[in-house]
Structure 1
Amino acid sequence: MPQLDTSTWFLTILSVMLTLFTLLQPKISMHLYTPNPKPMPTKTQKQHSPWNTAWTKIYLPLL
């Protein structure tokens, strides 16, 4: 069985690593990374409450 013959393992592993390195290095180096997004100013919208303000003053005295 040729799998048990360990004399060729080093050459096989070395050739596979060299091939993958030469094939993947240009592919990875050509990848364009997107720039970080710029923070957008957030605008808070006023929430319109359906409750009457006379009733909410009982529960929310600071309103």
Structure 2
Amino acid sequence: MPQLNTSTWFITIMTMLPALYLMMQLKLLNMNYYSPPSQKNLNTQAFNNPWQLKWTKIYLPHLQPLHS
């Protein structure tokens, strides 16, 4: 059985890493990134709703005392 020659593995791996890094950088360079949405100055108007004018208290059925 022939013996596996591993003498060039170190050089192969060391040249593969920068090549993969450069390929990834070129791939990311061509990607289109969307800009964040710009803030709009909206004039907020205060609407008077009927439920904002009065104070109401809601009693849930399980919070009421038991009637005996």
TM-score normalized with structure 1 length? 0.44
Which of structures 1 and 2 has the larger relative contact order (alpha carbons within 8 angstroms, sep 6+)? 1
Q: Greater helix share, 1 or 2?
A: 1
